[in-house]
Structure 1
């Protein structure tokens, strides 16, 4: 049991460092002449237009999802702020966890949008840029998911205590 905990702590230390190192490496690479002299076909141009609209739609979906969650989170927090409940901290943690889950979903939408943008005839620089962006968003998502899991683990014993008191 103890070795699993030490392995988990080692992984949770090494993984972010490796991701940050990889991101730094990708951002430091700059490939020149990744395909500027190549001829584009009418089909490729048409696909780029369609994929551009799909990527824009995905970005709009991400904005709507995140914006709606922020508005709902503010409304829920204000309700908690003006209520007479003594469970303010626990309920605030719930609002925070719910917002974190939706932010993780929004990050997934933005990653999908970036992948769509580089789907049709990408240059080497496009692929490196995509790698850096996906790596950064994966790093953000990793820490967000970890925070959500820790928050849920903290809430679980509290809810079990509340049930046993009843």
Structure 2
């Protein structure tokens, strides 16, 4: 049993460090793309325009999702602040966890937007930049999900051992 816990702690340490190292490596690469010998077709131009609009729509959706969640969280927190409830800490933790879930969803929208922008005729530098952005957002999402998981575990009632069964 202890071995599994040690292995999980190593994974929880190595995974973020590996992601950070990969991000640093991707950002340190600087490849100049040569597009001199390549012609752009009319279809490619239209695809870039359509995908640009789709990516902008995805970014707007992310902003709406995150903005709405922030406003909803502020309202919920103000209600808690001015109520005379004795479970203020537990309710505040709930507001924080709910906001964290929506922030994770917003990060997914922004990753989708970046992927869309790179979908049509990317250069090597575009792909490296996308990799760095996705890696950074994945790292943020990883820590956010981990924090949400820990917060939900703290909120669950701890099981009481029934001594009469033994």
Unmatched segments (≥5 aa) in structure 1? 162-166
Larger helix share, 1 or 2: 1
Deviation of 1:31 (Å): 0.4
Q: Higher mean Cα deviation, 33-42 or 81-90?
A: 33-42
TM superposition score normalised by structure 1: 0.93
Q: Which residue of 2 aligns with 1:72?
A: 72
Match of 2:3 in 1: 3
- Which residues of structure 2 form unaligned runs of 5+? 161-166
1:88 aligns with 2:88: yes
Q: Does 1:35 align with 2:26?
A: no
Q: How many residues align?
A: 160
State the Cα distance separating 1:38 from its structure 2 match: 1.9
Aligned equivalent of 1:138: 138
Please state whether the residue corresponding to 1:40 is helix, strand or coil: coil
Could you tell me how far apart the structure 2 residues matched to 1:111 and 1:10 are? 27
Cα distance 1:7–1:36, how it changes in 2: closer, same or farther (>3 A)?
farther
Measured on the aligned residues, the alpha-carbon RMSD in Å equals: 1.3
TM-score, scaled relative to structure 2: 0.93
* Aligned structure 1 segments of 4 or more residues deviating by more than 6 angstroms: none
Match of 2:30, SS state, is coil
